[in-house]
Amino acid sequence: MYTHLQRDVSRPPVTLATLARMKADGEKIASLTCYDASFAVLLDSADVDVVLVGDSLGMVIQGHDTTVPVTMDQMAYHSSMVARGLHRPFLVADLPFMSYPTKELALANSVRLMQEGGAQMVKLESGGKQTEIVEFLASHDIAVCAHLGLKPQSVHKTGGFRVQGREREMAVRLVDEAKRLETAGADIVLLECIPATLGKTITAELHVPVIGIGAGPDTDGQILVTYDILDITTGRKPRFVRNFMDGASSNLDALQRYVRAVKQHEYPAAEHCF
Ligand code: KIV
């Protein structure tokens, strides 16, 4: 049964200032996705720094083929459950598909994720037109994570879950978009499925922390889908996934191994990179 984490003053909550300090000190940021309170308690106990209530819940929890069917109500609901299980990690929640087509809707839905969902930051799949939305949210003092590279909400348009930025023109565009998003006020940039060399370039160009998933070892932090690293996900897994249950004595042990591997620069290894 889920029991609420006891508040622990010796483990102060992670804030954006903590993450900025980690980038400056070269300490890697360990992040994972989460969708409920029981897992939230485990992730907190494992000392995960950043927890994301990802719209990947559409695939992982709901069994859809993509993240497109996920609604705002569902994101707010899952985020509120995760928030109740956390004390130390910084909580980020995804704005789902078409919840930010205009500045006004983006603001209203970000407020919902923060007020109903307990999120400290919202994440949106960005670039192009969304840069103005990032700027608008930032001007209202909302902490924003801009997601670049492979954008799962756009898979029907882009033709599937594919590595982005392999061609020079696209790589240059991604570096430019990352810089524009930082200038617009993004507090974190998340890079998904891009070549490791491009992950390194973007991380070096930006002042804000950069967290990667399949973006190589040189980003400031790593994020993975918790169900993938605990070997709960069935079927073929992406190249960047490592099974941390291998040799682990429990789920908590596996999560602690993940955090240690990220902090000690052991994950991702060459075989996890593009
Ligand atoms: O929704 C999600 O879980 C994500 C991660 C893959 C970064 O966006």
Stretch 229-248: mean pLDDT, rounded? 95
Cα–ligand 1 centroid distance for 223 (angstroms): 8
CA 212 – CA 227 distance, rounded (Å): 17
Partners of 30 in the β-ladder: 222
- Residue 96 Cα to ligand 1 midpoint, Å, equals 11
Q: What is the pLDDT of residue 136?
A: 98
Phi-psi region of 92 (alpha: psi -120 to 50; beta: other; left: phi over 0): beta
Place of tokens 């020079």: 168
Residue extents of the structural domains in the chain: 3-272
| Residue 214, pLDDT score | 98
* Average of per-residue pLDDT across 79-101: 98
Is the pLDDT reported for residue 19 higher than 90? yes
Rounded mean pLDDT, 79-85 = 98
| pLDDT, tens digit (0-9, with 9 covering 90-100), for 187-231 | 999 999 999 999 999 999 999 999 999 999 999 999 999 999 999
- Give me 238's structure tokens: 């992406």
Could you give the CA distance from residue 187 to residue 121 in angstroms, rounded to a whole number?
9
Is 219 near ligand 1, meaning CB less than 6 Å away? no
- Calculate the alpha carbon distances from 68 to 19, 122, 152 in Å: 30, 17, 8
On the question of a cis peptide bond just before residue 217, with omega within 30 degrees of 0, the verdict is no
Tell me if residue 32 falls in helix, strand or coil.
Answer: strand
- State if residue 213 touches ligand 1 by the CB under 6 angstroms criterion: yes
Ligand 1 atom showing the smallest separation from residue 94 Cα? 1
Q: Is 220 in contact with 29 (CB distance < 8 Å)?
A: yes
Q: At 59, is the pLDDT very low, low, confident or very high (cuts 50, 70, 90)? A: very high
228 within ligand 1 shell (Cβ under 6 A): no
- Band (pLDDT 50/70/90 cuts) for residue 159 is confident
pLDDT score for 3: 53
Mean pLDDT, residues 1-8: 53
- The pLDDT, as a whole number, for residue 128 is 86
The pLDDT score that the predictor gives to residue 2 is: 46
CA angle 129, 133, 139 (to 5 degrees): 145
**Residue 191: which H helix or E strand, with range?**
strand 188-192
Mean pLDDT value across residues 49-62: 97
Q: Is 225 in the pocket of ligand 1 (CB under 6 A)?
A: yes
Q: 95-154 pLDDT, tens per residue?
A: 999 999 999 999 999 999 999 999 999 999 998 889 999 999 999 999 999 999 999 999
Q: Give me the pLDDT at residue 6, please.
A: 52
Residue-level pLDDT at 188: 98
> Any catalytic annotation for residue 27?
no
To the nearest 10°, report the CA torsion of 59, 30, 73, 99. -90
End-to-end CA distance of the chain: 40
**Mean pLDDT computed over 146-171:** 94
Distance separating alpha carbons of residues 94 and 11, to the nearest angstrom: 26
Q: What is the pLDDT of residue 7?
A: 59
Q: Which atom of ligand 1 is nearest to the CA of 190?
A: 7
- CA 231 to mean position of chain CA atoms: 19
Residues pairing with 147 in the sheet: 125, 190
Taking the C-alpha atoms of residue 75 and residue 8, their distance in angstroms, rounded to an integer, is 27
Asked whether residue 22 carries a pLDDT value surpassing 90, the answer given is yes
List, in sequence order, every residue forming a beta bridge with 223; answer none if it has no partner. Answer: 31
Kindly state the percentage of the chain with pLDDT values over 70: 97
Burial tier of 264 (Cβ tally within 10 Å: 0-12, 13-18, 19+): exposed
**Cβ(210) – ligand 1 distance below 6 Å:** no
Whether the Cβ atoms of residue 223 and residue 204 lie closer than 8 Å to each other: no
Is the pLDDT at 65 greater than 90, yes or no? yes
Structure token pair of residue 264: 């000690």
3-272 CATH, one of 3.50.50.60, 3.20.20.60, 2.160.10.10, 3.20.20.210: 3.20.20.60
Binned at pLDDT 50, 70 and 90, residue 18 comes out as: very high
Q: What is the pLDDT of residue 127?
A: 84
